[in-house]
Structure 1
Amino acid sequence: MSALQNQTIVVFGGSSGIGRGVAEKALMEGAIVHIASSNPDRVKDTVRDLQHQYPEGRISGHVIDLSTPEVESSLDTLLRQISPLDHIVYTAGDPLPIAPVDQITLEAIHRAGHIRFFVPLLLGKLAPRHLKPGYRSSLTLTTGAASERPFPNWSLIAGYLTGLHGMTRNLALDLKPLRVNLVSPGAVHTPMWGPDGVPAEMQEKTPLGKVGTPLEVAEAYVYLMKDTNATGSVVNTNSGSLLQ
């Protein structure tokens, strides 16, 4: 029996991309899965598709707008509806704010951090209210390879991505014995890249000659949920892109 069998998991950003991959993997493991995202149609379609793929699977969809100033209240309301939880997974994101330094404004700095940094920290605040107590429960956050490797015009976002490493370690200490971990993906085949997907030249430059798929990367999240000895940890899944 899987360690996730009958465990209740919520995946923020679970209607597409990596989050959908995590939801699917969790269903394969026999978990009770809730996905939460802002697009009602996408949530409905994802639940329908996954129910079709896994007729015995238990999956529900929830609509939540993480971009509003009232996000803490919205998170608390949603979590209260589905708790007690075994695991919270956060994969939500918005378009990458890549911009030259001379175009950065204070408003842009606030906007870039809202989904990537501020909301995960609020989830850390709320997690002890809604996760079952003890080291078997976990909160798993998401950063990216740019947290460890600089790229041109990524100054606006890189600080937040790197900051998630520090946030994860400190939350792991502050929320103990609840476990808090972080996944750091490289480029992944997700809708974020548009209809043409990840550019071929980007894939060819990695040591593996490819980038990840959502289901491949989802294995990192499943591992961190299962390993009750892992907390304050970062798992990289990036096709070896940091080796170049």
Structure 2
Amino acid sequence: MPSIQGSTVLIIGGSSGIGYGVAAKCIAEGARVHIASSNEFKVNSSVQSLKDTTAGGDAPVFGHVCDLSSRDVERNLEQLLSAVDGPIDHIVFTAGDSLAIAPLDTINLDMIHKAGQVRFAAPLLTAKLAPRFMRPGYQSSLTLTTGAGSERPHPNWSLIAGYLTGLHGLTRNLALDLKPLRVNLVSPGAVVTPMWGEKGPSDDLKNHTTLGKLGTPEEVAEAYVYLMKDTNATGSCISTNGGSLLV
């Protein structure tokens, strides 16, 4: 399987959680890594932390600030892609905001638009812009992120589940529209990340898996790196959910 050593990887949402795990894994495999998120302090802190993972603290990792929540999201993404030196080999999109979980009778049009801005519109616009900045050919890839909520319904998840499930269809169609650039999707279950707050995820979540455990960013990162390396994978989804779809 091809190596990603020497590849240029951009991780949108790479300052924490799963994205940070992907960045650390890519650095360990010899890639040049660019991370982006909306919080400048977190970006700078994460860049330093990632540098510290290598001997001498000189890992080739670079940080960028990009706001995906504004009306100028397309322009912000274009500026981000332009800021990465040279052609990009792989783009990973792990950015997300709080899940729009709400009773159906409280949903309005503004909520619908807001719920899809970061998790659906931003990756679609990334795909629109990507070919101008990526190395052409099937060796390059764009990997998006959904979640187990796209495959199993939960009460009050109708709003966000629509977007999570839509990413499956979006991925398949982008793989056709952007060929031979490869486009794939990762669908994690509950993962221990800062998204859960200081207390972390509840122990009850572990009981909704067959493994009795939640995923870690380091484990889930393997799925993204695999999809970068497998030059025969496109339009595909890897689900890494601890068996949460089985119980």
TM-score interval (norm. to shorter): over 0.9
Let me know the Cα RMSD of the aligned residues. 1.1
**Aligned twin of 1:242:** 245
**Aligned twin of 1:117:** 120
**Aligned twin of 1:66:** 68
Match runs of 1:131-170 below 5 Å:
131-170=134-173
Q: Can you give the 5+ residue segments of structure 2 that lack an aligned partner in the other structure?
A: none
Of stretches 76-85 and 37-46 in structure 1, the one that deviates more from structure 2 is 76-85
Residues 42-94 of structure 1: CA deviation (Å, up to 9, x unaligned): 00100111111123421000011111111111111111121410000000000
Structure 1 Cα separation of the partners of residues 12 and 223 of structure 2: 16
* Residue pair 1:2, 1:29 contacting (<8 A) in 2 also: no
Work out whether 1:27 is the aligned partner of 2:27. Answer: yes
Structure 1 Cα separation of the partners of residues 116 and 102 of structure 2: 14
* Residue pair 1:23, 1:35 contacting (<8 A) in 2 also: yes
Structure 1 Cα separation of the partners of residues 82 and 41 of structure 2: 23
**Aligned twin of 1:211:** 214
Q: Can you give the 5+ residue segments of structure 1 that lack an aligned partner in the other structure?
A: none
**Aligned twin of 1:36:** 36
* Residue pair 2:142, 2:184 contacting (<8 A) in 1 also: yes
Following superposition, the deviation at residue 2 of structure 1 comes to 6.7
One-letter amino acid of the counterpart of residue 119, structure 2: R
One-letter amino acid of the counterpart of residue 49, structure 2: D
* Residue pair 2:14, 2:20 contacting (<8 A) in 1 also: yes
Structure 2 Cα separation of the partners of residues 73 and 235 of structure 1: 30
Residues 164-218 of structure 1: CA deviation (Å, up to 9, x unaligned): 0000000000000000000000000011111111110111331000010001000
Of stretches 158-167 and 190-199 in structure 1, the one that deviates more from structure 2 is 190-199
Work out whether 1:96 is the aligned partner of 2:99. Answer: yes
Structure 2 Cα separation of the partners of residues 205 and 224 of structure 1: 27
Structure 1 Cα separation of the partners of residues 21 and 162 of structure 2: 26
Work out whether 1:187 is the aligned partner of 2:178. Answer: no
**Aligned twin of 1:220:** 223
One-letter amino acid of the counterpart of residue 66, structure 1: L
Work out whether 1:7 is the aligned partner of 2:7. Answer: yes
Structure 1 Cα separation of the partners of residues 80 and 42 of structure 2: 18
Percent identity over the alignment is 64
Structure 2 Cα separation of the partners of residues 98 and 28 of structure 1: 36
Pairs aligned (count): 244
Specify the SS of the correspondent of 2:245: helix
Structure 2 Cα separation of the partners of residues 205 and 166 of structure 1: 26
**Aligned twin of 1:231:** 234
Structure 1 residue runs of 4+, over 6 Å off?
Answer: none
The TM-score, its normalising length taken from structure 1, stands at 0.98
